[in-house]
Amino acid sequence: MSPLIQEEPLTLDTFLRGIWKENPVFVTLLGTCPTLAVTNSATNAISMGLATLFVLLCSNVLVSLLRKSIPKQVRIASYIVLIASFVTVVDYAIQAISLEVYNALGAFIQLIVVNCIILGRAEAYASKQRVINTVVNSIGTGIGFTVALLCLGVVREVLGAGTLFGVPLFGERFQPWVLMVLPAGGFFVLAGWLLLIEFFKQRRERRALEQQGATVHGR
Amino acid sequence: MSTELPVQPIQAGSPSVSMIRSLGLVSLICGFSVAIAYQWTKPYVDENQRITTERAVRAVLPTAMQQKAFVLGASGIAPAAPDSPAESAVFVGYDGAGRIVGIAARGAARGYADLVQVMYAYQPACGCINAVKVVKMNETPGLGDKVIKDPDFLKNFEALDARPNAEGAALANPIVTVKHGTKRDAWQIDAISGATVTSKAIGRGLDQSAERLVPLIHRHIAALEAAGR
C-alpha cells in the first residue's frame, strides 16, 4: 500500500455521494447493462438493486479488510474471485426466496460479476479506505443504484403494463404501451430521467451563478 | 552462446510467495462461503421447485384430489426422486376413489428468446391433451406472451389429438403447429399470428414429450392405476 494514499474521514458525504453526486446510473452511467435489461417491472428493479447492494457491500468489506495483504499484482484476480463468490451466494439466496423473481431476472444475476460499479468501487475506494468507510460508502452506492433502477422500473411498468408491483392501476380498458417493457423502452426512459436530472442540475447552477453575480455587482 | 536467463528459485517472503499466499487465502474464504450458501439454501430451493411443479400440475389437473410423480421407463414405472430426469417424469392425478383423472407431464422447446417450458395434461381415455400451462418463458411482452391468455389459442388444447399409433411405439399423428387459420385436423395447433415462433415452440415441446411419454403411459397404464389405490 502506497503511503501517499490518504484515508478519508467518515462524513455524511461518504454515504450521500453514491446516492446523488456520484449516482452510478444517473451520473457516472455505470452498470447500464442491468439498468436497461431488468427494469421492465418495479419488482425486478428492486430485486436487482438489492442483489447488487449485497454483493457490493460484502465483497468491498472483504477487499477493505484484506487491502494490506493483497499484493497489487494479484489484486484484480482477488477482487473478481471475491465478487464472483458473493454473486453465487446471492444466486442461491434468490432461488431460495422466490423462483419467480429468479426466472424473471434470468442471466442478469450471474452478470453482476462483471458489473463495473462493484469492481470500480473495490478498486477506487475499498482497496484504499478503512472498513467502516467502505461499509458506509457501499451502502450509499447500493441505495443509489437501487433507487435509480426503481425510478426506471416504476415508469416502465406503469406505462408498459398498467401495473405497479403487479397491482393493476387503470382497469380493464387500459391499452398498455408495450414498447416501454421492451429493451427500447429502457433506453427511452433512461434518456428521459437523464434529461430531467440534467435540467434541474443546470437550473441550479444558473441560479447559483446569478446569485453570485448579484452579490458581486449589487442589485 | 546461450541467452537464457537463470531461473530464480522461489524464496519465502518473496513477492511470488505473497501472491500465492493471498490468492490462496481469498480462494479459501470464497470456497467456504459458496459451500455454506449452497448447503444452507438447498432445502429451500428444492422446496420452491416442488411447490412450483405442484402448482403447475394442479393448474392442468384441477379435479385431482392427489398427485403422484413417477418415472416411466421401457421396463416399468418407478416413483420419481428430486433428481430424476424431467423428460421422463409424469405426474398422475387421482380422484378421491383412486381413479386416474389425468396425467401431467413437462415439455420444452426453444422459442424466440429462450426455452419455453410447458406443463400439459394427457387423458389416456380419449388419447388427447386437454390442458396446457406455460411454466416458464421469456418471450417478447405483447407478442410471444399472448400464448398464455389468447382464448383462440387456448381452444387448441381443449382436445388436442395425441393418440399412440397401432404399434404403440409413437404418436399416430405428430403434433404440429400450423399457420393461423389453416388448422384442419385435431392434432394440429392453430398458431397466433404475430406469435408464430412461440406457438411453434409450444407445439414442438408437446410433440417431443408426447412422442416419448404417450406410448409409455399406455403401456404402463395398469401399473399407474394400481399405484393410486
Q: Which cell is A160 given? A: 408498459
- Measured between beta carbons, which residues in chain B are less than 8 angstroms from residue A89? 33-34, 37
Domain locations along chain A: 12-168+175-215
Confidence of residue A1 (pLDDT cuts 50, 70, 90): very low
Domain locations along chain B: 45-228
- A5 has a pLDDT exceeding 80: no
Q: pTM of the full predicted structure?
A: 0.82
Across chain A, mean pLDDT equals 91
Confidence of residue A80 (pLDDT cuts 50, 70, 90): very high
Residues of chain B with pLDDT under 50: none
- Give me the amino acid identity at B130: N
List, in order, residues 6 or more apart from A8 with CB less than 8 Å away: A14, A129, A133
Q: Is A110 on the interface with B (CB under 8 A)?
A: no
**Contact B34/A89, CB-based, under 8 Å?**
yes
Q: Which cell is B205 given? A: 415441446
- A4 has a pLDDT exceeding 60: no
Q: pLDDT tens digit string along A147-172?
A: 999 999 999 999 998 999 989 999 88
pLDDT of residue A218: 62
- A100 has a pLDDT exceeding 90: no
List, in order, residues 6 or more apart from A171 with CB less than 8 Å away: none
**Closest approach of chain B CAs to the CA of A201, in angstroms?**
35
Interface mutation vs chain B, best among A99, A163, A180, most B CBs within 10 Å: A99
Mean of the pLDDT values across residues A168-189? 90
CA-nearest residue to A87 within chain B is B34
pLDDT of residue A131: 95
Task: Look at the alpha carbons of B60, B61, B66, B70 in this order and tell me if their dihedral is positive or negative.
Answer: negative
ipTM for the complex shown = 0.80
Q: What are phi and psi of A148, to 5 degrees?
A: -65, -45
Dump the DSSP string for A158-176: HHHHSEETTEESS-TT---
Q: pLDDT tens digit string along A35-78?
A: 998 898 999 999 999 999 999 999 999 999 999 989 989 999 99
Q: Which cell is B88 given? A: 421422463
- A219 has a pLDDT exceeding 60: no
Cβ-based burial of A114 (10 A; exposed 0-12, middle 13-18, buried ≥19): middle
CB-closest option in B15, B31, B37 to A93:
B37
Q: Is A32 on the interface with B (CB under 8 A)?
A: no
Confidence of residue A2 (pLDDT cuts 50, 70, 90): very low
Q: Is A92 on the interface with B (CB under 8 A)?
A: yes
Taking any CB pair shorter than 8 Å as contact, residues of chain B touching chain A are 15, 18-19, 22-23, 25-27, 29-31, 33-34, 37-38, 40-41, 44-45, 48-49, 52, 114, 136, 138, 140-142
